[in-house]
Amino acid sequence: MALTTYLEAIRQGIWEEMERDERVFVLGEDVGVYGGAFKVTKGMLDHFGPERVVDTPISESAIVGAAIGASYLGMRPVAEMQFIDFISCCFDQITNFAAKSRYRWGAGVPIVIRGPSGGNTHGGPFHSQNVESYFYNTPGLKIVQPSTAYDAKGLIKAAIRDEDPVLYLEHKYLYRRIKEELPSEDFVVPIGEAAVRREGSDLGIITYGAMVYNALDAADILAKDGVETEVLDVRSLQPLDENAILETAMKTNKVIVLHEACLTGGAGGELAARIAEKAFDFLDGPIIRVAAKDTPVPFSPPLEEYFLPQVDDVVDAARKLLAY
């Protein structure tokens, strides 16, 4: 069986959902003729036609506004942000219209807003951000970030089928680097379920997205010292699989929360607070956060490397915690 990249898995998931449900369509900048900036929508215009693969003006607020309106008319739009950084332009539509629609008058907004996020590709401060925490404080939104090709496909399918708005964050560093065999049959990955990527009892690393691989690499290094590290991939930030997070904390007694977004105000603070509130008696040391520096993402490759959490940063934090 051929290996499928993370990017191709997303493309397959969208394609299959468009075949399955004629209400599903895609819209965004250059998604049609060009096939998307990263080629996620390659071939879709020729196959599905211009009514279901819609090239839009360069206006993220218009894209999301049109998607919300189409959802009210029974459609299921998949809106692409060419880079997820530009989602800030449509913050009002997402937080005050899409997220609150069901609460205000019972109308679901079954839209997916997807786009490439994250750094380590030398894209600079406007093409490398992680935006999950911007929206984390907004009830009514679901937020997911897959780390594997299997999850990339399963979560995009689940997001499209969901009756409420989903922010689908895809890490562009993983697009063509991560590959695996995918089942030929239809499948979804349920939103709101974490996944244990590595079992361990001495230390827990709770993370998501591209940082899953930093955590696994750190676990390999620590294993040489006899340390068994558990790596939990949250996958879904909203809703959060709190039970899985607490199980890892209670099992390992020492926890690192790792994410690529900046430290201050990042999702790691919420995860740490949940553990502190509900699993404090099981902890044998402080909850340690490992995250990016509190600066814009540097363009310079050496500075970006310094800015982003590295495997050595995780290993150093782990050794300090283990010695506590």
- Would the pTM of this model clear 0.85, i.e. be above it? yes
Catalytic-residue membership of 127: yes
Three-state SS for 61-111 is HHHHHHHHHHHHCCCEEEEECCCHHHHHHHHHHHHHHHCCHHHHHCCCCCC
What local confidence, expressed as pLDDT, does residue 215 receive? 98
Q: Supply the pLDDT for residue 53.
A: 98
pLDDT of the residue at 276: 98
Given strand 195-198, what is the order of strands in its sheet?
195-198, 229-233, 203-207, 255-262, 288-292
Average pLDDT per consecutive 10 residues, the chain (324 residues; last block may be shorter): 94 98 98 97 98 97 98 98 97 97 96 98 96 97 98 98 98 97 96 98 98 98 98 98 98 98 97 98 98 97 97 98 96
**pLDDT computed for residue 38 by the predictor:** 97
Contact (Cβ atoms closer than 8 angstroms) between residue 235 and residue 144:
yes
Burial of 223 (0-12, 13-18, 19+ CB in 10 A): middle
Q: What is the pLDDT of residue 69?
A: 97
Name all domains of the chain by residue range, CATH numbers in brackets: 4-180 (3.40.50.970), 195-322 (3.40.50.920)
Instruction: Give the whole-angstrom CA distance, residue 276 versus residue 279.
Output: 6
* Per-residue pLDDT at 116: 98
Cα–Cα distance measured from residue 84 to residue 94, given in angstroms and rounded to the nearest whole number: 13
State pLDDT tens for residues 93-133: 999 999 999 999 999 999 999 999 999 999 999 999 999 99
Identify whether the C-beta of residue 127 lies closer than 8 Å to the C-beta of residue 87: no
pLDDT, one tens digit per residue, over 45-77 is 999 999 999 999 999 999 999 999 999 999 999
Q: Exactly one of 47, 122, 127, 171 is catalytic; which is it?
A: 127
